[in-house]
Amino acid sequence: MNWKVSVKKKQLKNLDKLPSKVQDLFAFLLRDLEFDGPEQPSWKNYSKLEKNKYHCHLNYRYVACWTAEKETIKIEVYYVGSREKAPY
């Protein structure tokens, strides 16, 4: 069962400003989210933030945060960027 993964428009715009290696890692994370769902223990510093919010590090400096609706099999990435500015 594949999850429907979306990324907020603002984050798509910000993604272009990130280093290409980080963009590649983010693409791998999106693929993993689509196939494996919101829980990603194999990603560095993955953790569940709240009931349906999660995050992981793409590398030392950059993170991604997402929410999941298990009833509708949807995941939305609401932040990708520097860990200093992360909304958690």
Residue extents of the structural domains in the chain: 4-85
What's the whole-model pTM score? 0.92
Fold of 4-85: YaeB-like fold (3.30.2310)
Q: What pLDDT band is residue 5 in, cutting at 50, 70 and 90? A: very high
- Decide: 46 and 32 in contact? Cβ < 8 Å: no
For residue 87, pLDDT over 90 is answered with no
Q: Which of 27, 70, 33 is nearest to 55 (CA)?
A: 33
For residue 1, pLDDT over 80 is answered with no
- CA–CA distance, 87 with 10 (Å, rounded to integer): 14
What does the pLDDT look like over 46-76, one tens digit per residue? Answer: 999 999 999 999 999 999 999 999 889 999 9
**Amino acid in position 6:** S
